[in-house]
Structure 1
Amino acid sequence: MNWAAFSSAEPDLARTAEERFGAFTHHVLATLRKDGSPRTTGLEVRFLGGELWLGMMPDSLKALDLRRDPRFALQANPGEGQSLGGGDVRIAGRAFEVEEPRTKAAYVEEVKPPEPFHLFRTELTEVVRTCVEDEKYLVLQIWKPGQPSRTIKRT
């Protein structure tokens, strides 16, 4: 499921996620190395044309990881200090490299990335928001494709 389909199914959670990712430029991407161990790296993301895009420098290890195994996890930058203004947002899914010239040209026109670059389109498998409510509850909002989002409150 792409970002547009998720946004249609869960507009409030999608808006919150976009706001969290929009609050800072750099976020944390987790990919899988050849041996299956995790790799975390910084990354800029873009929400354009109903898609969540991941752009990367040529032959970066994270790009090579995704070419080999498309599974990823992405965490919004929590910002400075103790506050997670808007909550913590994590997105999991699969990323597939886009090499189609028109699609890449449209991305370049909008984003103006340094070239050359790798461009990945994402398919979502999970979106999770964690926040504190009323200074008392830890609240988790969890969405997975084909299921309504569910909310868990813990004291």
Structure 2
Amino acid sequence: MNWAAFTSAEPDLAKAVEERFGAFTHHVLATLRKDGSPRTTGLEVRFLHGELWLGMMPDSLKARDLHRDPRFCLQANPGEGQSMGGGDVRISGHAREVTDSGTKAAYGEEVKPPEPFHLFRTELTEVVRTSVEDEKYLVLQVWKPGQPLRTIKRT
């Protein structure tokens, strides 16, 4: 399921997630190394035209990881000294490299990344937002394709 479908299914959560990612430029991407261990790296993300895009430098380790195993987890930058303002947000899914030159060119004209670059379109498998409510509840919102939004409150 792409970003547009998620936005249609859960518009309020999607807006909160986009705002959280929009608060900072750099975020943390987790991929899987060849031996199966996790790798975390910094990354800029873009929400454009109903898609969540991941752009990367050519032949970067994270791009190699995604070519080998497309699973990823993306964590929004919490910011320095932030008390989870806007919540803690994570997106998991599969990243598929875009090889269509027209799509890459359109993205490149809009975003202006350094050339050359890898471009990945995402397919979402989970979106999680953790926030604090009334200074006493930890609230988890968990969305998965085909399932209703689950909200869990903990004291």
Mapped to 2, the partners of 1:85 and 1:76 lie a distance apart of 12
Mapped to 2, the partners of 1:111 and 1:22 lie a distance apart of 15
Query: How big is the alpha-carbon RMSD for the aligned residues of Structure 1 and Structure 2?
Result: 0.5
2:121 corresponding residue in structure 1 = 121
Mapped to 2, the partners of 1:60 and 1:12 lie a distance apart of 34
Question: How big is each residue's C-alpha offset from its partner over 1:110-148, in whole Å with a ceiling of 9 and x where there is no partner?
Answer: 100000000000000000000010000000000000001
2:88 corresponding residue in structure 1 = 88
TM normalised by structure 1 equals 0.99
1:28 corresponding residue in structure 2 = 28
TM normalised by structure 2 equals 0.99
Q: Displacement, 1:82?
A: 3.9
Structure 1 outlier segments of 4+, above 6 Å: none
1:51 corresponding residue in structure 2 = 51
How many equivalent pairs are there?
155
| SS state at 1:107 partner | helix
Mapped to 1, the partners of 2:110 and 2:78 lie a distance apart of 26
Letter in 1 for 2:72: F
Question: How big is each residue's C-alpha offset from its partner over 1:41-78, in whole Å with a ceiling of 9 and x where there is no partner?
Answer: 00000000100000000000000000000000000000
| SS state at 1:44 partner | strand
2:152 corresponding residue in structure 1 = 152
Mapped to 2, the partners of 1:31 and 1:48 lie a distance apart of 22
Mapped to 1, the partners of 2:106 and 2:126 lie a distance apart of 27
2:5 corresponding residue in structure 1 = 5
Q: How do 1:64-75 residues align onto structure 2 when only pairs under 5 Å count?
A: 64-75=64-75
- Stretches of structure 2 lacking an aligned partner (at least 5 in a row): none
